[in-house]
Amino acid sequence: MFDFSGTLFRIESAREWLAAVLAQAGIDAGQDEITRYAGELERVGAQPGGTQPREADLPGHLVAAWEQRDLTAAHHRAAYTALSRLAGLPWDVHDALYARHMTPEAWRPYPDTAEVLAKLGTLGVPVAVVSNIGWDLRPIFRAHGVADHIAEFVLSYEHEVQKPDPRIFRLALDALGTAPEDTLMVGDNAGADGGAAALGCPVLLVDPLPAAERPGALLPVLDTVGGAV
């Protein structure tokens, strides 16, 4: 089982995100202005897949929305567009920013993602993607040529249950037809992805660095599986 964001793929930088949306909208903004407001978006945690806001810094009216953001598509959109409005942008591009983050162009696979997934397929190891998310990420995998390596997608908003709740991992295990002790969970968040350990799954954590800065963190997965086959 693999997490999506920060594990197999990484979102573009906040600056790239904002610059792309402004360019698409035909808004002429200076480089310093883009950098400044991208920093504000990052500070408030407005980019899905990017830096998360500190819960202590969330306005009271957004606490519940943040905690429930991955349970439905509507919750996800509402939470993140509300966060972007906290950044004080001089442009009304909140919906466009949200739309941009769901496109294949906004995501980069880690350098070893395709290699590891393909090798697992060669070994006959079924793979599930288990993600806390509010939209269908399957097109991202198709666009980057790795969808055929995934047997199951278990997405929180489709089941209204989110990590670390053991139920979402149980759904993936049942779909794969594998036992917890034989199923490795690979993720980047100890709190969320570590929830698989409650069922008896071993857990491997990686660092959610930008894609170019993390060339081979997934390769140990092959060592783990290779020792078991």
Identify the CATH number of the domain in which residue 220 sits: 3.40.50.1000
Same domain, 43 and 89: yes
Rounded Cα distance between 96 and 21, Å, is: 6
Residue 159 sits in the same domain as residue 209 = yes
Look at residues 39, 72, 105 and tell me which one is the last residue of a structural domain: 105
**Would 7 be classed as within a structural domain?**
no
The answer to whether the Cα torsion of 222, 224, 226, 229 is positive or negative is negative
Q: Which secondary structure element, helix H or strand E, spans residue 42, and what is its range?
A: helix 31-44
Domain termination site, one of 105, 134, 156: 105
Give yes or no: residues 126 and 190 share one domain.
yes
- Specify the pTM: 0.95
Do both 140 and 163 map to the same domain?
A: yes
Whole-number Å distance between alpha carbons of 68 and 101: 19
Structural domain boundaries enclosing 50: 12-105
Distance CA 42, CA 206 (A): 21
Token couple for 165: 């709740």
What gap in Å lies between CA 189 and CA 171, rounded to an integer? Answer: 19
Q: Count the domains in the chain.
A: 2
Is 4 a member of any domain?
A: no
Whether residues 41 and 79 fall in one domain: yes
- Residue 185: phi and psi, rounded to 5, are -100, 125
Q: Which of 61, 82, 105 is the last residue of a domain?
A: 105
Torsion angle, alpha carbons of 89, 19, 69, 135, to 10: 140
pLDDT (tens place) for every residue of the chain, 229 residues total = 999 999 999 999 999 999 999 999 999 999 999 999 999 999 999 999 999 998 878 999 999 999 999 999 999 999 999 999 999 999 999 999 999 999 999 999 999 999 999 999 999 999 999 999 999 999 999 999 999 999 999 999 999 999 999 999 999 999 999 999 999 999 999 999 999 999 999 999 999 999 999 999 999 999 988 654 4
Q: Are strands 9-11 and 107-109 parallel, antiparallel or unpaired?
A: antiparallel
Residues 126 and 27 occupy one common structural domain:
no
Residues 87 and 135 in one domain: no
Question: Does residue 40 sit in the same domain as residue 117?
Answer: no
> Is residue 119 within 8 Å of residue 89, measured between CB atoms?
no
